[in-house]
Amino acid sequence: MSPDVVLADFFSGCGGTARGFADAGVQPVFATDWDEEAVQTFKLNFPDVKAVQRDIRELAAEEVVSVMPAADEAIRLLAGCAPCQPFAGHRNAATGEDERSDLVLELLRFVEALCPQLVFVENVPGMRRASRSAGPFMEFVEVLKKTHHVAFDTISCADYGVPQTRRRLVLIASSLGEIDVPTPTHGPSTDQPHVTVRDAIHSLPHSVNAPESSAISSHRAMRLTPLNRKRIKATPEGGDRRNWPKRLWPDCHSGGFGGHTDVYGRLSWDKPAPTLTTKCISYSNGRFGHPSEHRAITAREAARLQTFHDSFEFAGGLTSQARQIGNAVPVLLARRFGQHFVEHVVEAQARDSAATSGQADRAAVGENEMRNAA
């Protein structure tokens, strides 16, 4: 029987973390994000969870505590996946620096108020590189270490069954005992190969104009300009702008191509996709061209590459949906970490039960000895 574990999801986005944890047996009870349409999506898919649109800096801890079960009724899990892109308007006027990097420290208020036994944080690897010995992330780690066992590492989502080479910094913590980042389930060191683009999206109708496509929510593609249609037709599977004839080159690249070759690229059928971004359905903004169709991938195809099930509905227009999908924690990644947390709780409870039983046995032996002596 699974233990009762409840989730408070900060920077929840559209619900990738919550969906994965729920699939692992964790019950989401609270979620918050600044993106209004992401919160609408969360509510569509989790109608029984209290989800609020709020800047975390303006969120009162009491509002979260009020919906959480009592500490002795359930294990509390706090998840916080602070966004990595700057908020518009949240740049410090005096220094010009992005204030978003400090948002992870806002979670400490809620750690103090909720006293969660478990903590999960996900972000870009750059947060760790920028603060190996100082900075917001390491400050968060050092404070958390006072009450929890902490482990963190940079992982590839492809190693956990996600059809995407997305690299992420993940932190897990527990006050119940020592805990480590879960071992990979896919890749060369396992008995399961990486999941590919073909595995993820090939079963969807390739033509978005086909009648069956209309029955699948969000299976729509952005329109291409006539020039970009010529460009994608000149791009083979797995290829990019370097495959074009010079007449299709942008004026700014008349001297050749350098920098990011993924721009104007096509996906490869038999490899994981690269990291999906908030512009993951735009052909000109990354390797987001369909492997064989002359179009960018659809929002639903992008959602599958983030391991959302087709039943997961997205609010807003295509641009908003792409932003929500690109910002999300892949569902399968969250599920794997959720399973790891549940297994950890079961082991901790078994240890506690064995210790309690041992104490009771020793007490009973002591009473018998005293009785016999009398």
Task: Write the pLDDT tens digit of every residue in 35-62.
Answer: 999 999 999 999 999 999 999 999 999 9
Residue 15 Rama label (left phi>0; alpha psi -120 to 50; beta): left
Residues 6+ apart with CB under 8 A from 275: 164, 165, 166, 167
In this structure, the answer to whether residues 339 and 319 fall within a common structural domain is no
Q: Taking the CB of residue 23, how many other CB atoms lie within 10 A of it?
A: 16
Instruction: Mark whether 257 and 307 lie in a shared domain.
Output: yes
Q: What is the CATH number of the domain that holds 121?
A: 3.40.50.150
Residue 99 has pLDDT above 60, yes or no: no
Please tell me whether residues 230 and 341 are part of one structural domain: no
pLDDT band at 355 (very low <50, low <70, confident <90, very high): confident
User: 3-state DSSP call for residue 10?
Assistant: strand
The structure tokens listed for 216 are: 């699948």
| Number of domains present in the structure of the chain | 2
- Is the pLDDT at 326 greater than 90? The verdict is yes
With respect to residue 369, please indicate whether it lies within any of the assigned structural domains.
no
CA separation for the pair 103, 56 (Å, rounded): 8
- Asked whether the predicted pLDDT for residue 85 surpasses 90, the reply is no
pLDDT at 131 over 60: no
Determine, yes or no, domain membership for 362. Answer: no
- With CA atoms as reference, report the closest residue to 160 among 281, 350, 359, 338: 338
CA distances from 321 to 9, 14, 210, 326 (A): 20, 9, 21, 8
Query: Environment class of residue 1 by beta-carbon count within 10 Å: exposed (0-12), middle (13-18) or buried (19+)?
Result: exposed
Q: Mind listing the pLDDT tens digit for each residue in 221-233?
A: 999 999 999 999 9
In the predicted model, is pLDDT for residue 23 greater than 60?
yes
Residue 89 lies in a domain: yes
226 with 284, same domain?
yes
One domain, residues 125 and 206: no
One domain for residues 16 and 53: yes
The answer to the question of residue 366 being in a domain is: no
Residues 6+ apart with CB under 8 A from 174: 117, 118, 119, 148, 149, 341, 344, 348
77 and 130 in a common domain: yes
Average pLDDT of span 337-362: 84
Q: Can you count the helices (H) and strands (E) in the chain?
A: 11, 7
Read off the pTM.
0.89
Domain assignment present for 374? no
pLDDT confidence bin for 259, thresholds 50/70/90:
low
Rounded-to-integer distance, Cα 231 and Cα 233, Å: 5
* Residue 213 in this model has a pLDDT that exceeds 90: no
At 154, list the tokens.
Answer: 């940079």
Residue 209 has pLDDT above 90, yes or no: no
Count of residues for the chain? 374
Distance, in Å, from the CA atom of 204 to the CA atom of 300, rounded to the nearest integer, reads 9
pLDDT score at 316: 98
* Distances from the Cα of 213 to the Cα of 63, 199, 249, 286, 300, angstroms: 42, 18, 33, 24, 10
Residues spanned by the domain of 16? 5-193+333-357
Is the same domain home to 188 and 287? no
Distance CA 298, CA 293 (A): 11
**Does 258 share its domain with 344?**
no
pLDDT the model gives residue 82: 85
Compute the distance between CA of residue 339 and CA of residue 318 in angstroms, rounded to an integer: 32
Q: What's the CATH number where 306 sits? A: 3.90.120.10
Which residues are within 8 A (CB) of 261 and not within 5 positions of it... i.e. 6 or more apart?
240, 241, 242
* Same-domain status, 71 and 211: no
The whole-number pLDDT of residue 127 equals: 77
Nearest one of 365, 186, 199 to 273, comparing CA atoms:
199
Active site residues: 84
Q: Same structural domain for residues 81 and 49?
A: yes
Return the number of other C-beta atoms located less than 10 Å from residue 118's C-beta.
26
Among the listed residues 318, 273, 310, 309, the one whose alpha carbon sits nearest the alpha carbon of residue 291: 273
Report whether 9 contacts 30 (CB < 8 A): yes
Same domain? For 219 and 338 the reply is no
pLDDT at site 327: 97
Phi, psi of 41 (to 5 degrees): -60, -45
Whether 370 maps to a domain, the answer reads no
Q: Is residue 367 part of a domain?
A: no
Q: Rounded to an integer, what distance in angstroms lies between the CA atom of residue 226 and that of residue 233?
A: 11
For residues 146-161, average pLDDT: 98
Instruction: Confirm whether 365 is domain-assigned.
Output: no
Average pLDDT of the chain to the nearest whole number: 90
pLDDT band at residue 299, thresholds of 50, 70 and 90?
Answer: very high
